[in-house]
Structure 1
Amino acid sequence: METAQFIGTLDTEGQLLATAAEEAGTDAKVPTCPGWQVRDLVRHTGMVHRWATAFVAERHTSYHPGEGLPDLDGTELLTWFREGHRRLVDTLAGAPADVDCWSFLPAPSPLAFWARRQAHETTVHRYDAESALGGTPSAITVDVAVDFAVDGIDELLFGFHARKKSAVRTEVPRVLRVRAEDIDAVWTVRLSTGTPVSERGEVADADCELAGPAGELYLSLWNRRPFPGVTGDPSLATLWREKSAVT
């Protein structure tokens, strides 16, 4: 996907998140984020948006902490969120392609990284906001484009879980396969006592396979929905649930 597509997705998803949060109300519980209410979700996502904006707008070339969570609620909180989201979208859209700033996952450029990361961040949290409208997470209609979902799985496996801090590890080497059934996309994840190693394709026999539509797999791997299909050793699916959280 191109940077402009990620920015467009970020724009749409942020607006959808705000609409769902407003409809649910800031007191509503967020089933996909146990212990959170909508106000926590909106404060967190809005803080991340401002944090990301600062790197691109102010050209920080090393890590800088975020501003912290605002002491706002209700209409004021939603206005604050919408303003920060709009500034992030406008900053990314107006930044030069070669902007030099800090980033933390492999990408063609810092701008490409931030557009991609914030599009996925906001999409997952849009789903969280919609879960606060009622019903169980598995009953919510998945509205994630297939190509975007595939990219998000790539980012999760080749980015976040290629880092030393990934806790998805096994004492005995095991192989986890992820298969998107609505597009020709398969990932093989080798698990051991070291960092997970992911490859595209069926490059080894799998001990466990997670399969389903790309959009559902994407949200499942982010621990937002049950896995649509599990075959083989279910303990690896449980391991992912218990150890894959990204902080």
Structure 2
Amino acid sequence: MGKLSYERHCAEIVNQADLLVSALDGADLGVQVPSCPDWTVNQLLRHVGYAFRWADDMIRERWPEVDFTRSMSLDVTAYTDEQAAVLGPWISESAQSLASALQAVDPDEMIATLGGRPGPRLWSRRMMQETVIHRWDAVNALSVPFEIDSEVAADNLTEWSRFALPFAFLQRPAETSSLVGPGNTIHLHATDFDCELVIDLTGPMPVVREEHEKAAVAVRGPVMDLVLAVYRRRSVDGLEVFGDRDLLDRFLERVRF
């Protein structure tokens, strides 16, 4: 249910990067990105490419733990007036190099660890899904159609529940603690792929179950629309919502990533 292999994650880093680059032909990279309003498309592309290079470095150099301060992807505001003919090949080469680095190590090697988890396995999945979301950001800004394999989208949704969701609770405890309470559960149900998640908010940290279960509020829709909703790229308007809409709205606001 919504989980790809390590080998597929590595391959999809390259595939998603190439799909992103293919959308840039003739594009004005100076347009603002509505879903990342502080960036232009140019700056978004620099963010993606530098994220690849940061992950590549920590795998190749076998950093014992992740060091976010060494990522050049965190401040890209200085990049303006660059051309797709330059940025496109740079992104593709960066993705290919990262995939090669990941394929050359044991997925469970304890390098670039985060929260005690093996870095190669974690970052192969995280970088693939980072590229999916930012590809959507870019094509949405450029008014280019977006298509994705539902299997990849389902993997994205489950990866969000295992990475971004607990990250929000750890980083913003004052905000997220108000979501915790008896009976506070959220059911995400994909209608176009076998992917269902129940998010249990009855304890101090969310617990995620991959199953069908009655919840305080349920959201049903195509799996990529669910992904866009939890990443706050779209509202839940137009999706099927049953139950406690207030809990859902507060949840989506406070677990932003």
Question: Once the 2 structures are TM-superposed, how far is the Cα of residue 240 of structure 1 from its aligned partner?
Answer: 3.1
Question: Once the 2 structures are TM-superposed, how far is the Cα of residue 66 of structure 1 from its aligned partner?
Answer: 2.6
Q: What per-residue deviation string (whole Å, max 9, x for no partner) do you get for residues 93-145 of structure 1?
A: 333445441232676x432222111111111111111011138xxxx54x222
Contact 2:32 2:141 in 1 (8 A): yes
- Does 1:223 pair with 2:232? yes
- Does 1:232 pair with 2:243? yes
Q: Relative to 1, partners in 2 of residues 1:23 and 1:235: Cα closer, same or farther, differing over 3 Å?
A: farther
Given candidates 197, 200, 205, the residue that maps to 2:207 is 197
Q: What per-residue deviation string (whole Å, max 9, x for no partner) do you get for residues 198-246 of structure 1?
A: 212234x322111111122122222222333222222233223311222
The aligned amino acid for 2:246 is S
Given candidates 1, 10, 15, the residue that maps to 2:13 is 10
The residue that corresponds to 1:165 in the other structure is 171
The aligned amino acid for 1:30 is V
Aligned pair count reads: 239
Given candidates 106, 121, 131, the residue that maps to 1:112 is 121
Given candidates 210, 223, 230, the residue that maps to 1:214 is 223
Question: What are the ranges of 5 or more consecutive residues in structure 1 without an aligned counterpart?
Answer: none
Q: What per-residue deviation string (whole Å, max 9, x for no partner) do you get for residues 152-192 of structure 1?
A: 22211133323433654425431111111123332111225
Q: How does 1:88-107 map to 2 (within 5 A)?
A: 88-97=98-107, 99-104=109-114
3-state SS of 2:185 partner: strand
Q: Cα RMSD over matched residues?
A: 2.5
Q: How does 1:36-115 map to 2 (within 5 A)?
A: 36-64=39-67, 65-68=69-72, 69=75, 71-73=78-80, 74-75=82-83, 76-97=86-107, 99-104=109-114, 109-115=118-124
Contact 1:209 1:230 in 2 (8 A): yes
- TM-score, normalised on structure 2? 0.81
Contact 1:29 1:36 in 2 (8 A): yes
Contact 2:228 2:234 in 1 (8 A): yes
The residue that corresponds to 1:24 in the other structure is 27
Question: Once the 2 structures are TM-superposed, how far is the Cα of residue 193 of structure 1 from its aligned partner?
Answer: 7.1
Contact 2:186 2:198 in 1 (8 A): yes
Q: Distance in 2 between matches of 1:185 and 1:10?
A: 22
- Does 1:132 pair with 2:141? yes
Contact 1:10 1:122 in 2 (8 A): yes
- TM-score, normalised on structure 1? 0.84
Q: Distance in 2 between matches of 1:184 and 1:90?
A: 31
Q: Relative to 1, partners in 2 of residues 1:25 and 1:90: Cα closer, same or farther, differing over 3 Å?
A: farther
Q: Relative to 1, partners in 2 of residues 1:207 and 1:97: Cα closer, same or farther, differing over 3 Å?
A: closer
State the percentage of identical aligned residues: 24
Contact 1:6 1:119 in 2 (8 A): yes
Q: Distance in 1 between matches of 2:45 and 2:34?
A: 14
